[in-house]
């Protein structure tokens, strides 16, 4: 039974044992970040509606072999909520990617691998696209690039992932509804999320500014992020580094992408591996041991 840590090779790991908790100014925003371990650098990017704490079952195990960096994305958790900009550009994945580059430089890392889940996977993709000289390997947990998702979206996507359009629209903003009872709206499953992680998530979501930023993330996805992806696709640009695509067997992705969520990635990268994990959407919380077992050989082979 997993509690606040993860058991790997018979050894118990605590919640971010040996990690430093810091707040680092990266220019436009200040990021809350935890980092620890030694060796080649790996940055882990969380999704919506989480914080970096979502990685607490995975990061200590990875830190045995790598330097692991876990930030709250801009607008999320305890990182700065940036002021609104035209077209929601303040929450674009390009802006998030720039934050990560500045963060890793501040921590002394010139090259690194990036692992992204959910919305963090889109920031990770943009990081690899915009900064190919820095990213040695990319792990995607949660789906193809935003532009690819929207280009392929149909009735099934709209029915299963309706929240993209609910959070992303502006005519009747979602914030007032969510802010009436954010704990009820974001109902974490207690059998999957540890008490400390759940409280960290709840503390962030109870801040209306953070709720607004998370909605702005989706609005950017439907506007500026999609245009960035479309421009890259039209120009024939691809991810230069190796890509590992992971998904949960009980997530919606196999249904959305014909049983092979890695397939859309093959138009975006030449080196693509795909693996299914016995988990739901949040693989890092549902099956941390299985995730670590997949991450370590892939990261080792490309960061050596």
Longest C-alpha distance within the chain, in Å? 53
Among 48, 212, 281, 286, the one annotated catalytic? 281
The reply to whether 99 belongs to the active site is: no
224 CB contacts (<8 Å, ≥6 apart)?
Answer: 87, 88, 89, 92, 94
Q: CB under 8 Å to 180, separation ≥6 — which residues? A: none
> 72, 99, 118, 188: which one is catalytic?
118
Whose CA is closest to 296, among 247, 250, 244? 244
Nearest of 117, 156, 140, 152 to residue 252 by alpha carbon: 156
Is 118 marked active-site? yes
**Residue 75 to residue 93: CA distance in whole angstroms:** 12
Question: Angle at CA 231, nearest 5°, toward 229 and 234?
Answer: 110
Q: Which residues are catalytic?
A: 118, 281
């Amino acid at each position: 039974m997993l509690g606040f840590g993860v058991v790997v090779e018979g050894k118990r790991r605590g919640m971010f044992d040996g990690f430093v908790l810091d707040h680092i100014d990266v220019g436009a925003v200040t990021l809350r970040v935890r980092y620890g371990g030694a060796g080649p650098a790996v940055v882990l990017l969380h999704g919506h509606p989480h914080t970096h704490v979502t990685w607490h079952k995975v990061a200590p195990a990875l830190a045995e072999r790598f330097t692991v960096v876990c930030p709250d994305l801009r607008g999320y958790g305890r990182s700065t909520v940036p002021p609104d900009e035209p077209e929601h550009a303040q929450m674009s994945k390009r802006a998030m990617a720039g934050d990560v580059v500045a963060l890793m430089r501040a921590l002394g890392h010139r090259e690194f691998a990036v692992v992204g889940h959910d919305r963090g996977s889109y920031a990770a993709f943009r990081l690899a696209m915009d900064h190919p000289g820095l990213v040695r390997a990319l792990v995607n947990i949660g789906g193809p690039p935003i532009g690819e998702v929207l280009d392929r979206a149909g009735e099934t996507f709209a029915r299963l992932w309706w929240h993209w359009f609910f959070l992303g629209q502006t005519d009747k903003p979602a914030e007032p509804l969510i802010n009436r009872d954010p704990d009820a709206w974001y109902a974490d499953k207690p059998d999957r999320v540890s008490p400390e992680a759940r409280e960290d998530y709840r503390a962030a979501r109870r801040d209306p500014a953070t709720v607004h930023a998370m909605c702005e993330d989706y609005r950017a996805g439907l506007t500026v992020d999609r245009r960035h992806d479309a421009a890259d696709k039209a120009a024939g640009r691809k991810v230069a580094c190796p890509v590992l695509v992971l998904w949960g067997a009980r997530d919606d992705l196999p249904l959305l992408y014909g049983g092979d969520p890695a397939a859309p990635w093959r138009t975006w990268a030449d080196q693509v591996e795909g693996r299914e994990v016995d988990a739901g959407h949040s693989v890092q919380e549902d099956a941390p041991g299985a995730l670590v077992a997949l991450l370590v050989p892939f990261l080792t082979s490309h960061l050596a």
